[in-house]
């Protein structure tokens, strides 16, 4: 990797120390912007088009327009990672509503700020926790509703995610999930959730960001002949699961050994979690659904 990370900013490639936004940027002032995170492993970006498609859905819903097409984003992401000479990378791409010089500004009247920031690959948990499983907290904070801030917006406005995570860490846990307003299990600040029970998988279908990794695990489960059902789950379902795992771009499956003070019954990671995670990484390493970087 080059001495300083190279960042793509508004059409230019600049070293991190020069990649600056204005304090008048609406992304900074109001959390007004959307983003996505794709990863590369062994020189191959995984499901890049699915990430860009999800990003475009957020841009469209948030009424944020850039002059960049899907192919332009593809090319810019690939070129930014190449310039950083990374093989295993986590790449965050962001559009904010940008800058206005007026104090009370018309939100329709902005030039968006565009950023692509690649970093070495990030795992949500260290090696020991990946091997032994994590302790998961259930937050008292609830998910936004679809008629307020639909969880499908992958947006910068994440204060409540941060609070939920801080409370979980303060309680001695590793990560957090929250419930929807209806009391069903939602998701965590950077991951979706699956349970295994009686040889079947269950995962929440509503009130969540539809994770690309969640989709990958559903596909892998189908290929492995494991039925996966999108269902309204309650905390009781988590407590009584045979296996429980979170999943995200930051590391694939992460087994849970304890949920809100209850130890998961069977072995951790359980056999289904282990099998699906192994197949996930095999897929990634084989280049399936991958975009080679070099
Ligand atoms: C709220 C939320 N849920 C789920 C996920 C997992 O999505 P993915 O599998 O695309 O990383 C993320 C990723 O950052 C997220 O922010």
Q: 183 and 98 in one domain?
A: no
Residue 30 tokens read as: 């109001």
Give the residues surrounding ligand 1 with Cβ less than 6 Å away.
Answer: 37, 187, 189-192, 209, 211-214, 248-249
In a domain, 294, yes or no: no
Q: At 38, which CATH number?
A: 3.30.470.10
**What DSSP designation does 112 have?**
E
Q: 257 and 152 in one domain?
A: yes
Burial zone of 167 (CB within 10 Å; 0-12 exposed, 13-18 middle, 19+ buried): middle
Cα(206) to centroid(ligand 1), Å = 14
Q: 131 and 115 in one domain?
A: no
Instruction: Tell me: pLDDT of 106 over 90.
Output: no
Per-residue HEC secondary structure of 170-203 comes to HCCCCEEEEECCCCCECCCCCCEEEEEECCEEEE
Three-state SS at 254: strand
Q: At 241, which CATH number?
A: 3.20.10.10
CB-CB contact of 174 with 168 (8 Å): yes
Instruction: Tell me: pLDDT of 3 over 90.
Output: no
In a domain, 150, yes or no: yes
In a domain, 203, yes or no: yes
Residue-number span of the structural domain to which 153 is assigned: 127-286
Which atom of ligand 1 sits closest to the CA of residue 51? 10
**Mean of the per-residue pLDDT values of the chain:** 96
Q: 190 and 100 in one domain?
A: no
Residue nearest to atom 13 of ligand 1 (CA): 190
CB-CB contact of 208 with 236 (8 Å): no
Q: 171 and 274 in one domain?
A: yes
Residue 31 tokens read as: 């959390």
Q: 169 and 44 in one domain?
A: no
Q: Is residue 269 reached through a cis peptide bond, with omega within 30 degrees of 0 on the bond before it?
A: yes
- In angstroms, the CA 205 to CA 232 distance is 7
- Burial per residue of 116-140, b for 16 or more beta-carbon CB atoms within 10 angstroms, e otherwise: bbbeebbebbeeebbeebbbbbbbe
Residue 220 tokens read as: 């892998």
For 291, residues 6+ apart whose C-beta sits below 8 A from its C-beta are 44, 45, 48, 49, 74, 78
CB-CB contact of 137 with 167 (8 Å): yes
In a domain, 219, yes or no: yes
In a domain, 1, yes or no: no
Q: 0.95 exceeded by the pTM?
A: yes
CB-CB contact of 119 with 90 (8 Å): yes
In a domain, 15, yes or no: yes
Q: What is the pLDDT of residues 137-162, one digit of tens each?
A: 999 999 999 999 999 999 999 999 99
Q: 163 and 53 in one domain?
A: no
Which atom of ligand 1 sits closest to the CA of residue 189? 1
How much is the pLDDT for 105?
76
Summarize the confidence of residues 201-208 as an average pLDDT. 97
Q: Please identify which residue in the block is written with the tokens 């020189």.
A: 43
Q: 168 and 76 in one domain?
A: no
Give me the number of domains the chain comprises: 2
Which atom of ligand 1 sits closest to the CA of residue 213? 9
Residue nearest to atom 7 of ligand 1 (CA): 211
pLDDT: is 167 or 1 the higher one?
167
**DSSP secondary structure of 199-228:** TEEEE--SSS---HHHHHHHHHHHHTT--E
pLDDT band, very low/low/confident/very high, at 45 (cuts 50, 70, 90): very high
Q: Which of 103, 120, 137 is the last residue of a domain?
A: 120
Which atom of ligand 1 sits closest to the CA of residue 187? 3
In a domain, 292, yes or no: no
Q: Which of 73, 104, 120 is the last residue of a domain?
A: 120
Q: 259 and 133 in one domain?
A: yes
Q: Which of 120, 153, 171 is the last residue of a domain?
A: 120
How much is the pLDDT for 100?
79
């Amino acid at each position: 990797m080059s001495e300083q990370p190279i960042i793509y900013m508004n059409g230019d490639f600049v070293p991190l120390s020069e990649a600056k936004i204005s304090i008048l940027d609406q992304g900074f002032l109001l959390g007004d912007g959307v983003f996505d995170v794709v990863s590369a492993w062994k020189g191959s970006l995984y499901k890049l088009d699915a990430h860009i498609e999800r990003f475009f859905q957020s841009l469209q819903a948030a009424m944020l327009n850039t002059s960049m097409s899907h192919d332009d984003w593809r090319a810019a992401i690939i070129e930014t990672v190449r310039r950083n000479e990374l093989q295993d990378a986590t790449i965050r791409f962001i559009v904010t509503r940008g800058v206005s010089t007026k104090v009370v500004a018309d939100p329709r009247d902005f030039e968006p700020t565009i950023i692509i920031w690649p970093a070495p690959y990030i795992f949500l948990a260290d090696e020991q926790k990946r091997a032994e499983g994590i302790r998961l907290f259930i937050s008292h904070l609830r998910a936004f509703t679809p008629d307020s801030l639909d969880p499908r917006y992958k947006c910068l406005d994440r204060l409540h995610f941060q609070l939920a995570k801080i409370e979980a860490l303060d309680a001695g846990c590793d990560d957090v999930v929250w419930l929807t307003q209806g009391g069903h299990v939602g998701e965590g600040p950077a991951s979706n959730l699956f349970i295994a029970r009686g040889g079947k998988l269950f995962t929440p279908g509503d009130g969540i960001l539809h994770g690309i990794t969640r989709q990958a695990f559903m596909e892998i489960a189908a290929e492995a002949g494991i039925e996966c059902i999108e269902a309204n789950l309650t905390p009781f379902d988590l407590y009584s699961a045979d296996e429980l795992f979170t999943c995200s771009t930051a590391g694939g499956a992460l087994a849970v050994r304890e949920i809100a003070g209850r130890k998961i019954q069977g072995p951790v990671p359980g056999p289904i979690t282990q099998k699906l995670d192994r197949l996930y990484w095999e897929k990634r390493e084989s280049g399936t659904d991958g975009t080679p970087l070099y």
